Amino acid sequence: MARGARLRAAAFALVAASSCAMLSFADAEDFSPARNRFGQPDFEGIWQVLDPAPHYDIEPHGASYGVPAGLGIVIDPADGRIPYTAEGLAKRDANRANPSADPFARCYKPGVPHLMYLPFPFQIVQSRNLVTINSEYVHNTRFIYLHRDDHFGEGEIDLWNGDSVGRFEGDSLVTDVFNFHPDVWLDRSGNHAGGPTLRVNERFTLIDADTIRYEATLNDPENFTQPWTIRVYLYRHKDPRKQILEYECQAYAENSLGPPELPEVR
């Protein structure tokens, strides 16, 4: 087969595969997930994002040393950019100028929604009144309370992961998260979303037996000109031996972007 014909065949196969993938996601809207003994959609299992890029920057970005390129996960606004206010943008720039302030580099909890797209697995466990998310990263446990619709302290306390209340809407788990610590970052590049006025609304939806479509809408009039939304896909680990392992974090040295430099070779 001539080289041109091979290229055309490969291109056709790629388009066909892409079309099948889009059809599978469209058909997934009709998926009906299994239910647990409480009648809830069954999210139990160990899950993880496949793409580590949003952990470094949730906006579109090129590759750099130690950072994979990414298309971005902001789906609204359509330009894929965070709609910062002037104050919010100034804070983002200050964060980038001071990478040692990165909570992840200091081994603090990453906050919500960053927790959901860390390059670490997490396990979901359900009971009648509680959804528990156990992350491998720094033994981090997050609780989503199903038996109440208000928040502890209502703006008077601050928590790295916020205070999460949730409910089931059909086949989706929907949350309202409030009471955030002011220093929560969304990624390693200084994008931020934390403080007393931030609210995060999440939607977990099983689009097939082993895939969760995760969306989070962030609303904070002090930092953003409008509410905006991210989307990632979480995939179930199928290996029956898979489990959440120990991860002990060691904070980077002050004013360092990474591990200490190696000694000079003489």
- Is residue 131 within a helix (H) or strand (E), and if so which, with residue range? strand 130-135
* Per-residue pLDDT, 12: 35
DSSP β-ladder status, 141-145 and 163-169: parallel
Per-residue model confidence as pLDDT tens for the chain (266 residues): 455 444 444 443 333 344 344 434 444 568 999 999 999 999 999 999 999 999 999 999 999 999 999 999 999 999 999 999 999 999 999 999 999 899 999 999 999 999 999 999 999 999 999 999 999 999 999 999 999 988 877 667 889 999 999 999 999 999 999 999 999 999 999 999 978 899 999 999 999 999 999 999 999 999 999 999 999 999 999 999 999 999 989 886 544 444 434 344 43
From the list 222, 230, 232, 172, the residue with the least C-alpha distance to 194 is 222
Residue 201 sits at the vertex; the CA angle it makes with 232 and 234, to the nearest 5 degrees, is: 20
Q: Hey, how many other C-beta atoms are within 10 angstroms of the C-beta on 59?
A: 18
How far apart are alpha carbons 122 and 118 in whole angstroms? 9
* Per-residue pLDDT, 253: 54
- What is the pTM for the complete model shown? 0.84
Token pair, residue 126, equals: 């359900």
DSSP β-ladder status, 74-76 and 163-169: unpaired
* Per-residue pLDDT, 64: 94
Q: Which amino acid is at 47?
A: W
